[in-house]
Amino acid sequence: MASALPRTIRAVDTDHLLDLEREAAACGLSQRLPVDWLSEHAAAAGTHYLFPVLVHQLRHRPEVSPQWRCQLLLTVSTGEQILSLLDVLPATFDRIPATLDASSKTRIARRMEGAMSVREWMERADLSRCSGR
């Protein structure tokens, strides 16, 4: 299994993202969103982006080590894009088709830099409900 961190961004649709989150949960990987939450909040026809940022080694769990900790730019049902993390096994990431050109990857990386986190998005949504917006 490869452990060198790729410097690329991959796009996935919502069904594929749900599969990645299910795999992360089944493997007991740390950084992931609950699949039920994701099913409720991810845009059904959305495109989401994974950018590996860290090789995560677990010496005590060699069956799932290494992992690639990815920034996840998640498109939610409101149309906004918010930032989360998702641990992905290298072989799984390698199977995601490379469909983005260099300029698209640059634009997506810039959106990741300015995106609010899932927590910030949820807090804002809770405040909006409380204020009657």
The pLDDT mean for the chain works out to 90
Say how far apart CA 2 and CA 100 lie, in whole Å: 22
Q: Is 1 a member of any domain?
A: no
Q: Is 86 a member of any domain?
A: yes
pTM: 0.89
Say how far apart CA 9 and CA 7 lie, in whole Å: 7
> Which of 8-17, 56-65, 114-123, 124-133 is the least confident region?
124-133
Closest Cα to residue 49, out of 107, 89, 5, 127?
A: 107
What residues contact residue 102 under an 8 Å CB cut-off, 6+ apart? none
What residues contact residue 66 under an 8 Å CB cut-off, 6+ apart? 1, 3, 55, 56, 57, 58, 90
Per the structure, the complete domain to which residue 29 belongs is given by 10-130
Q: Is 87 a member of any domain?
A: yes
Q: Which residues pair with 13 in a beta bridge?
A: 47
Please give the pLDDT value at position 128: 58
Does pLDDT of 96 surpass 50?
A: yes
Q: Is 17 a member of any domain?
A: yes
Say how far apart CA 10 and CA 96 lie, in whole Å: 7
Does pLDDT of 36 surpass 80?
A: yes
pLDDT band at 129 (very low <50, low <70, confident <90, very high): low
Please state the domain count of the chain: 1
Does pLDDT of 64 surpass 90?
A: no
Backbone angles phi, psi at 9, to 5 degrees: -120, 140
Q: Is 34 a member of any domain?
A: yes
Backbone angles phi, psi at 111, to 5 degrees: -65, -35
Q: Is 96 a member of any domain?
A: yes
